Structure 1
Amino acid sequence: MESVVGKHYKDKSPILIEFMDGYIQKISPFSGKATSGILGPGFVDLQVNGFNGFDFNEEGLSPAKVVKLTKDLWKEGVTTYFPTLITNDKEKIHTSIKCIVKACEDSLIEDSIGGIHLEGPFLSKKDGPRGAHPKNYIQAPNWELFCQWQDTAQGRIKLITISPEWSESSKFIEKCVASGVKVAIGHTAATGEQITEAVKAGASMSTHLGNATHLSLPRHSNYIWDQLANERLWCSLIADGFHLPESILKVFLKVKKGQSLLVSDSTKFAGLPPGVYNSHIGGEIELTKGGRLQMRNAPKMLAGSAKTLRWCIEHLVRNELTSLENSLEMCTLKPAEVMELGTLGFERNKKADLILFEYSNGNLKILKTIKSGKVVYEDQQLDN
């Protein structure tokens, strides 16, 4: 039996968590000398395009890079994540999937990858909603093609983002849901009727709501309002301070109270120092000292996200948009709930996926990350 001591993330009371064979056996009050750290569940990120120099969508991806990326995410408190594959040539998607599957031969890596998130190619072709996805690979939902990718993934595709504006969408969504794949609406210019039909077919979430849109929309009837108003849709949000203004985040969090979760949507530039880089989809980009990732020649345009869930929590709490407890749960328990990851939680008989962290002066610092009962990261300055 192994254990960890800290303050409960909800009420800050000292607790002892005991775990064995990768699962929590007991959470109990602790009366001895405890660390000042706070204990909570490990982060769950449903949208990771890349991190710290590695990208799931670039040529040259290897199983070793997937392993390294996973270990780097552990340092950020991420114990479960979904490698996200965007619109691309179908064979390149096959190649990326193969690398991820090969990396999963390591049991701890496999345990860290909750599933593959396929973001495309069944999206809107329209400028704005399409975002940075290459238009020449965008296409209508194709069940046969999806099944080919799923076969390569050995069933690991667990989440797909599509636009329901295609006539084939409803039947495709029904087949996905019947096969155990969650469907999210995103990169869309769909009408209200099309969104309603998608939800009836089984779509359950909006991907990074408020982003990948037209610059101007009808003030009353548009696909953002339609998704917000649908009570059966959860929404994922990029709360990095750049993708959505605080006022919009505040409204979204109020309307989707209890149905909101955070995603990083991180690119390979997250974790890298400020500077000018070259992106395979955006050309020359700049990562500013403030953390904004933008087109170098058009700085008003974002070039993706360069921040992690830890930063998103800091942003929400610092701007008093929600509490530390709620923001933490939007990175942990909420994504586990929407994806029906029943083994994850912060209670007995759930996986021992835990983080010990400090929160001070608006900064969240990871002190220790435990994945399936194994310490996979520990801050060198942590006083044991």
Structure 2
Amino acid sequence: MAAQWTGRLWSTGEGVRVTAEKGLVTEISPASASGQWIAPALIDVQVNGMGGFNLNGDAASVETVRGTVDALHREGVTRFCPTIVTATEQSIVASVASVARACEQDAGVEHAVLGIHVEGPFISPEDGPRGAHNAEWVRPPDWDEFLRWQDAAGGRIKKVTIAPEWPGAISFIERLVATGVIASIGHSAASVEDVKAGVDAGARMATHLGNGAHPLIRRHPNYIWAQLAEDRQWAGLIPDGFHLPPETLKVMIRAKGRKAILTSDASYLAQMPAGRYGTHHGHEVVLEPSGKLHLASTEDILAGSALTLRRGVQNVANFGILPLGEAIDLATLHPAELFGLADSGVGTLRVGGPADLITYQWDAEAPVGELKITGTVSRGECVYVAE
């Protein structure tokens, strides 16, 4: 049975009616529209959990994956990369296996999981670039270990964050790329030459560029400038207002252009109240009322993000960096292009493409606008309707 939604297109403001059947968009026709807008559903390429559901550590389970998907639907996200961070091999295997089981048991979860992202443990052991990752679990690249992860994941690992300065990292990146996995440079103390060698080997992305870095570095050259200037490399950017100051975020978006991707890097504390919490890293963290999440031992080291991608897109518009419609593209079309899915209609709205969309309200005239999701649609089915 066909379903329909009306709204003003995020890209043009034109009033339309979108019709879908069997999970695909079958018609987009002119229609009168009130204050509601319509856009592709958001895609988040880095999510560690949400709403109290942690995809890492001992808490990882089929239920935490399903809970994370439900929490993401409330934020307008229908596709995401569950992100498993630096841990023991046993823990990483358990976490990716939980994601695989959830996908096997639930078609909705299978659709939502764009691919698993393993962030570490093959990252820099140095303070600063390592970020909040536990130093005891950082280790050099090991291809056999990766194959054991991939086996447990049922082949669902699609992205790995790695520091290219490790001995053996370049050949590891080449092998990732040969198997169709995106190699992403991050949590790295790389030299400019290391960055170039990694990209030459096929590393196509920078994980949360500007973060997972030394608090103080040489002004130039350095690994941030090297990746900003690298036209072959996509850049994930965290627009929560804490990881990157608005001015820095603006410059990075301008520099990367079509290869800028907004991502939340949301921890399981996104959507949770302010307070002091424990993490799978073995650290205590503090979630401030402002939304800033940092190690309890030092406010200078962030511990992931507690804001959602919806809020990040909203921030980009409120910071005056881009109009909201263009900001949405950085969280829909751009990640779809990175994963090679845009040609099938993922990340946009078009006839024949998947019926993954959001309806929302937005007051462009307000001094500080709120992107309010009124409905989320996945595979042509409503998975969230605002009260």
User: What TM-score do the two structures reach when normalised by structure 2?
Assistant: 0.95
Question: CA deviation digits over 1:210-266, x for unaligned, max 9?
Answer: 001111111211111111111111111001001111111111111111110111000
Aligned residue number for residue 203 of structure 1: 203
What one-letter code is carried by the residue in structure 2 that aligns with 1:347? R
- Corresponding residue SS for 1:47: strand
- SS of the aligned residue for 2:313 comes to helix
State, as a whole percentage, how many aligned pairs show the same letter. Answer: 40
- What per-residue deviation string (whole Å, max 9, x for no partner) do you get for residues 332-364 of structure 1? 110111111244132111110000001133101
Counterpart Cα distance in 2 of 1:194 and 1:292: 32
Q: Which moved more, 1:2-11 or 1:364-373?
A: 2-11
Q: Which residues of 2 match residues 266-305 of structure 1 at below 5 A?
A: 266-281=266-281, 283-305=283-305
Question: Deviation per CA, 1:243-296, whole angstroms, max 9, x where unpaired?
Answer: 111111111111111110111000011001122222332633222221111233
- Contact 1:205–1:235 under 8 Å retained in 2: yes
Shift of 1:64: 1.5
What letter matches 1:103 in structure 2? Answer: A
> 2:40, 2:356 within 8 Å by CA — same for their partners in 1?
yes
| 1:58 positional shift | 2.1
Which shows bigger deviation, 240-249 or 272-281?
A: 272-281
For residues 281-339 of structure 1, the C-alpha deviation after alignment (integer angstroms, 9 at most, x for no partner) is 26332222211112334334322210001111121111101111111011111011111
Structure-2 change in CA distance of 1:180 and 1:3 (3 Å): same
Equivalent-residue separation in structure 2 for 1:88 and 1:275 (angstroms): 24
For 2:328, what is the secondary structure of its paired residue? Answer: helix
Residue 358, structure 1, aligned to residue 357, structure 2? no
- CA–CA distance in 2 between the matches of 1:127 and 1:286? 19
Are the aligned partners of 2:132 and 2:302 in contact in 1 as well (CA < 8 Å)?
A: no
Distance 1:190 1:352 in 2: 41
Contact 2:131 2:303 (C-alpha < 8 Å) held by counterparts: no
Work out whether residues 123 and 188 of structure 2, in 8 Å CA contact, stay in contact via their aligned partners in 1: yes
RMSD of equivalent CA atoms: 1.3
Q: Secondary structure at the match of 1:256?
A: helix
Does residue 78 of structure 1 match 2:77?
Answer: yes
Could you tell me whether the CA contact under 8 Å between 1:159 and 1:183 is conserved in 2? yes
Q: Secondary structure at the match of 1:258?
A: helix
Task: Write the mapping of 1:231-310 to structure 2, written as runs, cut at 5 A.
Answer: 231-281=231-281, 283-310=283-310
1:16 paired residue number: 17
Whether the 8 Å contact between 1:190 and 1:223 is mirrored in structure 2 is yes
Contact 2:80 2:115 survives alignment (8 Å) = yes
d(CA) in 2 for partners of 1:244 and 1:259? Answer: 17
**1:29-82 alpha-carbon deviations (Å, 9 max, x no partner):** 114xx3421100011000001111111112032202211111111011000011
Query: Does residue 317 of structure 2 align to residue 317 of structure 1?
Result: yes
Which segment is superposed worse, 305-314 or 163-172?
A: 163-172
Asked whether the 8 Å contact 1:285–1:295 carries over to 2, the reply is yes
Equivalent residues of 1:132, 1:282 under 8 A apart: no
User: Distance between the aligned counterparts of 2:151 and 2:282, measured in 1?
Assistant: 31
Letter in 1 for 2:75: E
Give matches, 1:26-105, under 5 Å.
Answer: 26-31=27-32, 34-104=33-103, 105=105
Cα distance change on mapping 1:295 and 1:167 into 2, 3 Å: closer
- Distance in structure 2 (CA, Å) of the matches to 1:307 and 1:3: 31
Q: Residue 370 of structure 1 corresponds to which residue in structure 2? A: 377
Separation of aligned partners in 2, 1:54 and 1:195: 34
In 2, the alpha carbon distance for the partners of 1:274 and 1:20 equals 42
In 1, are the aligned partners of 2:44 and 2:331 still within 8 Å (CA)?
yes
- Helix, strand or coil: the match of 2:257? coil
CA contact (8 A) 2:23 2:380 kept: yes
SS at 1:357 equivalent? strand
**Mean alpha-carbon deviation: is it higher for 179-188 or for 58-67?**
58-67
Q: How many residues align?
A: 378
Within 2, Cα distance between the matches of 1:282 and 1:184?
A: 25
Residue segments in structure 1 that go unaligned for 5+ positions in a row: none
The one-character-per-residue Cα deviations of 1:61-120 (angstroms, maximum 9, x if unpaired) are 220221111111101100001100001000111111111111112001100111100101
Taking the aligned partners of 2:285 and 2:146, their CA distance within structure 1 comes to 32
Letter of the structure 1 residue corresponding to residue 31 of structure 2? F
CA shift at 1:168, angstroms?
Answer: 1.0
Range with bigger deviation, 41-50 or 191-200? 191-200
What is the SS of the residue equivalent to 2:327?
A: helix
What does residue 109 of structure 1 align with? 109
Which has the higher mean CA deviation after the structures are superposed, 339-348 or 152-161?
Answer: 339-348
Secondary structure in 2 matching 1:102: helix
Question: Which residue identity does 2:349 align to in structure 1?
Answer: F
In 1, Cα distance between equivalents of 2:286 and 2:125 = 26
Question: Are residues 193 and 359 of structure 1, via their aligned partners in 2, closer, same or farther at CA, if it must alter by over 3 Å?
Answer: same
1:88–1:121 contact (8 Å) kept in structure 2: yes
User: Residue 335 of structure 1 aligns to which amino acid in structure 2?
Assistant: P
How far 1:369 sits from its partner (Å)?
0.4
